[in-house]
């Protein structure tokens, strides 16, 4: 069986190498998308999850917190948590900003002395971080005018985490990597089997001693290899061209990508069982990719989507993989911080790949 699988893998790889259009799709398209999307996309920011550390605990500090949350910008997700857990909260995406009010806030404020209020911002998304900073400064200025009728007695001291240069490309490129590996592996695996059916070689394979498991494994492993190659090219291009720092573990990223490939290859295998031509397979894969991209948080934060759509995003495996890629690359997140997304990916991989395997086996029978 191993020799059969290796022969099928060799055959698939040879077909890809001989197809110039496929080679362009695999190797040139990712670089173009990295260049275009890495520089072109910006998003609006609302409902910023914020942790509040109020060491003053006075009526004035509470009024200042109320002023921060009066609009549709800052949402208090955690109030007076443990300071030592601040970094963990950022890595686990519990909040994207942390407001720190010193214990001498009200005393200095009433004496018209400068007051330094701390604001930690998750700088992974440079665009969101910059807008968050602008919102905070604007609200502080309005609070100053209301209370003292003098400009800026509060001085906001900020620290940009994970992306101190405020480069939006640092946020976009990891997302593009996740999108590319989703589209390419699903499309290649769906079109390969349909292509065999179109040219008539699938029926020839069926009359040979090749078993269904060997056929499926031999067909999917080459595209998993190409998926890893695609991801490696995109990552290297992002690191070398855009200068993106890689904060986490390469081994962890590739290991979790291996888990995610069970989902994308399973989707491609399923599409191959419900289509008759390569054009149909490409259309179905494109439809799946559009849904996955738009509901993954790639373009805009999921929290800004309508509530009904937010629930739909839980059915999107790319949502979880997007968090993993960005978390590992930008924040150096570990398994402890990413275990909810890892569990979700494992469940998706088992359910989708097994279902597609069974459906394909039934179709062949």
**Domain span at residue 112?**
48-161
For residue 74, list its beta bridge partners: 48
As a whole number of angstroms, the distance between CA 182 and CA 5 comes to 24
pLDDT of residue 166: 66
What confidence score (pLDDT) does residue 83 get?
66
Final residue in a domain of this structure, among 161, 181, 203 = 161
Contact 265, 224 (CB under 8 A): yes
Q: Which residues, in sequence order, are bridge partners of residue 117?
A: 156
Name the strand (E) or helix (H) holding 295: none
Q: Which of 112, 143, 161 is the last residue of a domain?
A: 161
Q: Assess whether 332 and 259 both reside in one domain.
A: yes
Sheet containing strand 48-54, strands side by side: 74-79, 48-54, 97-101, 115-122, 154-161
What gap in Å lies between CA 106 and CA 56, rounded to an integer?
A: 7
Whether residue 193 is found in the same domain as residue 335: yes
Residue 197 shares a structural domain with residue 174: yes
Residue 256, SS3 per DSSP:
helix
320: left (phi > 0), else alpha (psi -120 to 50), else beta?
Answer: alpha
Based on the number of CB atoms within 10 Å of its own CB, is 118 exposed (0-12), middle (13-18) or buried (19 or more)?
middle
CA-to-CA separations, 257 to 44, 149, 154, in angstroms, rounded? 29, 55, 46
Regarding whether 223 and 328 lie in a shared domain, the answer is: yes
CA 92 to chain centre: 13
- Does residue 75 sit in the same domain as residue 145? yes
> What is residue 160's predicted lDDT score, i.e. its pLDDT?
80
Are 328 and 206 members of one domain?
yes
Count other Cβ atoms within 10 Å, centred on residue 96. Answer: 27
Contacts of 273 (CB under 8 A, 6+ apart): 356, 359, 360, 363
Domain co-membership, 202 together with 344: yes
pTM summary value: 0.74
β-pairing verdict for 97-101 and 48-54: parallel
pLDDT computed for residue 204 by the predictor: 64
Residue 110 belongs to domain with CATH number: 3.40.1710.10
Closest CA to 338 of 350, 347, 325, 349: 325
Tens-digit pLDDT profile for the chain (365 aa)? 677 777 777 777 777 777 777 777 777 777 787 777 777 665 557 788 888 888 888 988 888 888 887 777 788 876 666 766 777 888 888 888 889 898 888 888 888 888 888 888 988 877 778 888 888 888 888 887 777 766 556 667 777 888 877 677 888 889 989 998 998 899 888 887 787 777 766 666 666 667 777 778 887 888 898 889 889 988 998 888 888 889 999 999 999 999 999 999 999 988 988 888 888 888 999 999 999 999 998 877 888 888 899 999 999 999 999 999 999 999 999 999 999 999 999 999 999 999 888 887 766 65
Asked whether residue 115 falls in the same domain as residue 224, the answer is: no
pLDDT of the residue at 42: 53
Q: 72 and 197: one domain?
A: no
Whether residues 196 and 345 fall in one domain:
yes
The helix/strand/coil state of 284 is helix
Domain boundary among 161, 177, 197: 161
Q: Are residues 354 and 235 in the same domain?
A: yes
Is 287 found in the same domain as 251?
yes
Write the DSSP assignment of 64-120 as a string of letters. Answer: HHHHHTSSSSEEEEEES--GGGHHHHHHTTS-SEEEEE-TTHHHHHHTT--EEEEEE
| 8-state DSSP, 269 | H
How many domains, the chain?
A: 2
């Amino acid at each position: 069986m191993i020799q059969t699988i290796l022969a099928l893998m060799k055959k698939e790889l040879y077909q890809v190498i001989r197809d110039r259009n496929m080679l362009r799709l695999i190797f040139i398209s990712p670089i173009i998308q990295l260049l275009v999307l890495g520089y072109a996309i910006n998003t609006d920011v609302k409902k910023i999850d914020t942790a509040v550390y109020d060491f003053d605990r006075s009526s004035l500090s509470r009024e200042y917190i109320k002023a921060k949350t009066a609009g549709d910008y800052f949402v208090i997700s955690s109030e007076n948590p443990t300071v030592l857990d601040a970094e963990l909260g950022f890595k686990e995406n519990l909040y994207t900003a942390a407001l720190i009010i010193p214990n001498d806030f009200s005393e200095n404020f009433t004496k018209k002395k400068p007051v330094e209020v701390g604001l930690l911002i998750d700088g992974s998304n440079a665009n969101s971080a910059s807008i968050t900073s602008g919102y905070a400064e604007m609200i502080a200025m309005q609070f100053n005018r209301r209370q003292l009728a003098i400009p800026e007695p509060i001085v906001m001291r900020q620290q940009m985490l994970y992306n101190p240069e405020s480069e939006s490309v640092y946020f976009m490129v990891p997302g593009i990597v996740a999108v590319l590996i989703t589209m390419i592996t699903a499309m290649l695996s769906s079109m390969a089997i349909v292509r065999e059916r179109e040219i008539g070689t699938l029926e020839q394979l069926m009359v040979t001693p090749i078993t269904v498991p060997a056929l499926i494994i031999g067909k999917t492993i080459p595209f998993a290899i190409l998926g890893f190659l695609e991801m490696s090219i995109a990552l290297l291009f992002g690191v070398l061209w855009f200068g993106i720092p890689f904060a986490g573990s390469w081994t962890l990223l590739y290991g979790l990508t291996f888990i995610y490939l069970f989902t994308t290859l399973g989707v491609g295998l399923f599409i191959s069982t419900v289509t008759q031509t390569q054009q149909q397979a490409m259309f179905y894969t494109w439809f799946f990719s559009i849904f996955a991209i738009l509901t993954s948080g790639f373009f805009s934060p999921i929290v800004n989507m309508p509530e009904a759509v937010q629930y739909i995003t839980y059915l999107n495996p790319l949502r979880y993989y997007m968090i993993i890629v960005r978390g590992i690359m930008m924040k150096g997140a570990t398994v402890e911080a990413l275990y909810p997304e890892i569990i979700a990916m494992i469940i998706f991989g088992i359910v989708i790949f097994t279902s597609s395997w069974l459906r394909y086996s039934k179709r062949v029978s």
